Amino acid sequence: MLIVQKYGGTSVGTLERIDEVAKRVISAKKKGNDLVVIVSAMSGETNKLIEWAEYFSKNPNDREMDVLLSAGERITSALLAIALSGKGFEAVAFSGRQAGMITDEFHTKAKIEFINPVAIKNALKEGKIVVIAGFQGISKNGDVTTLGRGGSDLSAVAIAGALNADLCEIYTDVDGVYTTDPRIEPKARKLDKISYDEMLELASLGAKVLQNRSVELAKKLNINLVTRSSFNNNEGTLIIGETKMEGAIVSGIALDRNQARVTVRNVDDKPGVAAKIFKILSQKEINVDMIIQNTGKDGIANISFTVPQNELDKAIDALNGLGENFSIESDSEIVKVSIVGVGMKSHSGIASKAFETLAQSNINMQMISTSEIRISMIVEAKYGELAVRILHDAYELDK
């Protein structure tokens, strides 16, 4: 079998951990498999590099940020290859560029355009274990790019696709995908399997156990994806096309802490004004999420929406740049709590149960949005974890 394994930050967080990972890789290799291993930076490393850059500039250049951030993954890839060689197994470390990972030029959130896996395949043919720095690639004009936070998952899935691998294993610090973040709700239950669609919703709504774009790509390429722990040998969670979980209406709860709310007041209540606001935000590549507009009074309306916290300053600058008579308020002390489940399509009363549950604990919802398979609510940040726990209880997800 050709197996792609990905080890996240905590899995390679210390030299001892890298040694443990080397042993795990070797044990798979000894079973006769070909191994391609994608690694993240040591845990905390990427954040540390960002802080270092911010020491010098509030708004550092994205191109230089990519040169900086890609270094974290390169360090672990080299160390793991050296560890493997030290144990008598031939290994070669590749940066994103050396692995043939070609992206567009959108620095700090580049998209993969294609992978040219010749070097990987040649090394495999020579019997080597290939270790690749995740989270990075190279643009067509030769600049280093990174794929957005959590992007090593995407590197792994994309490489599994390019190599037509039999299996893609994502190793992390929990046993798999749970009904909610087990660090928030210890009663959370590990799922043996989950559908791509539900996983994609959970990941997009803040469950960072898998990066959302990696799930999207896994679905598109129909990759055999498993997430499991690198700290034990427990079975993980299989992410598959469809699960036949009769009766399971809600499959999980997600918490997204990276949200901020913007309210634009004093907006003329006439056609074209909202278009103008959201056009400038999209031109600046700001990801707008929930939007509500209050019905106008005296020809004046208010529009509120959410953006990722790290894009808040950029959003406010963009709106101020419009030169309109808006008054702009923002609030970063909010979180988004979401309930996800494909079974919700055919059941009523799911939303009202969520609203009642929050009301009983006196938690106010500032914004609500729904789709066929999810309900999202914006609440004050200090109530986020409590909301997750009481909703987990209300839908009996521990059962």
Stretch that binds ligand ASP, among 38-46, 236-244, 249-257, 279-287 (CB under 6 A): 38-46
Least spacing, CB of residue 372 vs ligand ADP, in Å: 20
Q: Which does 174 bind (CB under 5 to 8 A by kind): ligand ASP, ligand ADP, Mg ion, none?
A: ligand ADP
Q: Are 35 and 128 in contact (CB under 8 A)?
A: no
Q: Is there binding between residue 149 and ligand ASP (CB under 6 A)?
A: yes
Q: Is there binding between residue 7 and ligand ASP (CB under 6 A)?
A: no
Contacts with ligand ADP by CB under 6 A: the residue count is 20
Q: Which does 252 bind (CB under 5 to 8 A by kind): ligand ASP, ligand ADP, Mg ion, none?
A: ligand ADP
**Structure-block tokens of residue 254:** 């997600």
Residues 6+ apart with CB under 8 A from 152: 6, 8, 38, 39, 40, 73, 134, 135, 211
Q: Is there binding between residue 395 and ligand ADP (CB under 6 A)?
A: no
The residues in 96-135 that bind ligand ASP, with binding defined as CB under 6 A, are: 134-135
| Residue in 13, 34, 66, 72 binding ligand ASP, rule: CB under 6 A | 72
Least spacing, CB of residue 37 vs Mg ion, in Å: 15
The residues in 139-178 that bind Mg ion, with binding defined as CB under 5 A, are: 150
Q: Is there binding between residue 150 and ligand ADP (CB under 6 A)?
A: yes
Q: How many CB atoms lie within 10 A of CB 1?
A: 11
Pick 134 or 137: Cβ nearer ligand ASP: 134
Q: Which does 136 bind (CB under 5 to 8 A by kind): ligand ASP, Mg ion, ligand ADP, none?
A: none
| Residue 178 counted as an annotated binding residue | yes
Q: Is there binding between residue 40 and ligand ASP (CB under 6 A)?
A: yes
Q: Is there binding between residue 46 and ligand ADP (CB under 6 A)?
A: no
**Structure-block tokens of residue 101:** 């990972």
Stretch that binds Mg ion, among 5-13, 189-197, 237-245, 372-380 (CB under 5 A): 5-13
Q: How many CB atoms lie within 10 A of CB 118?
A: 10
Give the sheet arrangement for strand 193-195, strand by strand: 91-94, 129-133, 34-39, 2-7, 167-172, 225-229, 237-240, 193-195
**Structure-block tokens of residue 103:** 């992206």
Distance CA 388, CA 186 (A): 11
Q: Which does 103 bind (CB under 5 to 8 A by kind): ligand ADP, ligand ASP, Mg ion, none?
A: none
**Structure-block tokens of residue 72:** 């974290």
Distance CA 267, CA 274 (A): 8
| Residue 111 counted as an annotated binding residue | no
Pick 3 or 318: Cβ nearer ligand ADP: 3
Written as one string, the DSSP assignment of 29-81 is: HHTT-EEEEEEPPPTTHHHHHHHHHHHH-SS--HHHHHHHHHHHHHHHHHHHH
The residues in 180-199 that bind ligand ADP, with binding defined as CB under 6 A, are: 180-183
Written as one string, the DSSP assignment of 274-341 is: HHHHHHHHHHTT-----EEEEEEETTEEEEEEEEEGGGHHHHHHHHHTT--S-EEEEEEEEEEEEEE-
**Binding residues for ligand ASP, per CB under 6 A?**
8-9, 40-41, 46, 72, 134-135, 149-153
Q: Which residues are annotated as a binding site for substrate?
A: 46, 73
Q: Which residues are annotated as a binding site?
A: 6-9, 46, 73, 172-173, 178, 183, 208-209
